[in-house]
Amino acid sequence: MRRIIKPVRKLGGTVRLPGDKSIAHRAALFSILSKAPLIVKNFPSGADCQRSLAAAETIGVRIERNNDGMILHPPATFQSSEDTVIDCGNSGTTVRLLTGLLAGSTAGGTLIGDESLSRRPMKRIIDPLTEMGAEIFAAEGGTLPLKVRGRKLTSLEYLMPVASAQVKSSLLLAGLASSCDVTIRETIITRNHTELMLQEIGKGLEVRDIKAVAVEDPNDPRKRRMVRPEPYRREIRLKADAVINGGEIDIPGDFSTAVFFMGAAAISGQTVTITDVGLNPTRTAMLDHLKAVGCKVDIDNRATISGEVRGDLKVTGGKLKPRKISGDTTVGLIDEIPMVAVMAAFATGTTIIRDAQELRVKESDRLMAISENLKKLGIKVGLLEDGLAIEGGKDLNGADFESFGDHRIAMAFSIAGLFLHGPSSIDDDSSVSVSCPDFYKLVDQVTQ
């Protein structure tokens, strides 16, 4: 449905957001392999996570809903085979994690998805899983549908060629399902919800950070320099006897959805508080970004529940400055780049985003989608192979934006519309249901 966005007079207040999408996917899929029931609280209603839950149900998980949330009862025997069709919708996390899990199990499945998911690359999981002995049959080009025939896999040592938590988690779930050793080495650290959840409700996973050490400089023995003794930063080792024991997972609010409310505060110069939101350090690069571009960030009521840090976040905007973003910083901000780009449109100066080629293979080609929409605002934007150069503008007029069927593009440009002169529109707002069905109601809560 086309949605009209009107400029707001005032912004401020408090919101509490649905449960974190990444953590929820893992809770649903972990229940398939768990030895005992899993109590899950604050599971979000967004379509993506519901796909993972439905997949778990197809494989044999029994869902018992109650006032507190739900209890996921693991199956006594798996009920799916390679011919059981499992529709993953728009959800990359469902298909990538589930493929690993099924590949190493005694079950199987034929995994399909919508048009966008059917275009996305799966070779990144198929290759290492095949190295473990997996039987996965993909469409030509390594895309969906994926027919997965579960079997006993062999151990793997893998240096990650792309920074991807989905690939990492897929391999760990394959190892868990098949009871085999999996060692993963990351040169860029990605979100670690799989590791934390396994440590919280299971056992058999070790994480080792490779610290840089001081060595003598060969050119000048009086000097010392810091060197990392390995060509990677983190090693994640899943042992063959690793298990998920069951227990409780209380899911914090979704930081990546909170980012749109942070962005609104940043652009308006006003304050928004987001309560009970996930603050896992592998997800919060946006907080550093906000500070770097001139905003104020306060955190209250910090606590660790179910292995994940959470708290109340207060963001106050300011006069926005430009910034150059690349390398690890881009990876840390990967889901937040649409909002970062919209903020850049309201900043004074040129924001440069590099090393963001992964955005070309998300729910849409996000670099292209951002560039097209910013151009509608009359913003000068350079579309690079791996990023964007955005020259901030003043007194921007409302525009008719396109969502490209991508929830984060729809949400970021809906926020832009709140601060433009005159009304704007989004061609189709339905994609927000993927991660935050109540997005517009929540925006209404903090705007006037």
Q: Angle, nearest 10°, between helix axes 407-417 and 337-345?
A: 20
| Min CB(339)–ligand S3P separation in Å | 14
Q: Which candidate, 18, 14, 16, places its Cα nearest to that of 69?
A: 18
Q: Which of residues 350-389 bind ligand S3P (CB under 6 A)?
A: 358
Among 91, 166, 178, 424, indicate the residue that binds ligand S3P (CB under 6 A): 166
Q: Which residue, 320 or 334, has its beta carbon nearer to ligand S3P?
A: 334
Measured distance CA(333)–CA(140) in Å, rounded: 31
Q: Cβ distance 254 to 277 under 8 Å?
A: yes
Number of H helices, E strands in the chain: 14, 25
Binders of ligand S3P: how many residues, by CB under 6 A?
11
Beta-carbon neighbour count of residue 63 at 10 Å?
16
Measured distance CA(295)–CA(321) in Å, rounded: 9
Q: Which residue, 29 or 320, has its beta carbon nearer to ligand S3P?
A: 29
Entry field: residues in the chain: 448
Q: Which residue, 261 or 346, has its beta carbon nearer to ligand S3P?
A: 261
| Min CB(260)–ligand S3P separation in Å | 14
Q: Which residue, 84 or 330, has its beta carbon nearer to ligand S3P?
A: 330
| Min CB(116)–ligand S3P separation in Å | 13
Q: Which residue, 169 or 271, has its beta carbon nearer to ligand S3P?
A: 169
Q: Cβ distance 26 to 166 under 8 Å?
A: no
Q: Which residue, 3 or 25, has its beta carbon nearer to ligand S3P?
A: 25
| Min CB(23)–ligand S3P separation in Å | 8
Question: Catalytic residue positions?
Answer: 335
Q: Which of residues 184-203 bind ligand S3P (CB under 6 A)?
A: 191
List C-alpha distances in Å: 214 to 17, 25, 186. 44, 41, 21
- Per-residue x/- mask for ligand S3P, residues 277 to 316, rule CB under 6 A? ----------------------------------------
Q: Which residue, 195 or 335, has its beta carbon nearer to ligand S3P?
A: 335
Q: Which residue, 105 or 257, has its beta carbon nearer to ligand S3P?
A: 257
**Residue type for 26, please?**
R
Q: Which of residues 146-165 bind ligand S3P (CB under 6 A)?
A: 164-165
| Min CB(359)–ligand S3P separation in Å | 9
- Per-residue x/- mask for ligand S3P, residues 19 to 58, rule CB under 6 A? ---x--x---------------------------------
| Min CB(284)–ligand S3P separation in Å | 14
* Peptide bond between residue 145 and the one before it cis (omega within 30 degrees of 0): yes
Question: In the numeric block, which tokens belong to residue 126?
Answer: 């198929």
| Min CB(53)–ligand S3P separation in Å | 15
Q: Cβ distance 365 to 359 under 8 Å?
A: yes
Q: Cβ distance 409 to 364 under 8 Å?
A: yes
Binding of residue 334 to ligand S3P (CB under 6 A): yes
List C-alpha distances in Å: 341 to 271, 283, 360. 20, 18, 15
SS3 268: helix
Q: Which of residues 90-119 bind ligand S3P (CB under 6 A)?
A: 93
Which residue is listed with tokens 């050119």?
219
Among 186, 254, 276, 335, indicate the residue that binds ligand S3P (CB under 6 A): 335
List C-alpha distances in Å: 195 to 52, 153, 346, 359. 18, 20, 38, 24
Measured distance CA(297)–CA(316) in Å, rounded: 7
| Min CB(166)–ligand S3P separation in Å | 3
> Applying CB under 6 A, which residues contact ligand S3P?
22, 25, 93, 164-166, 169, 191, 334-335, 358
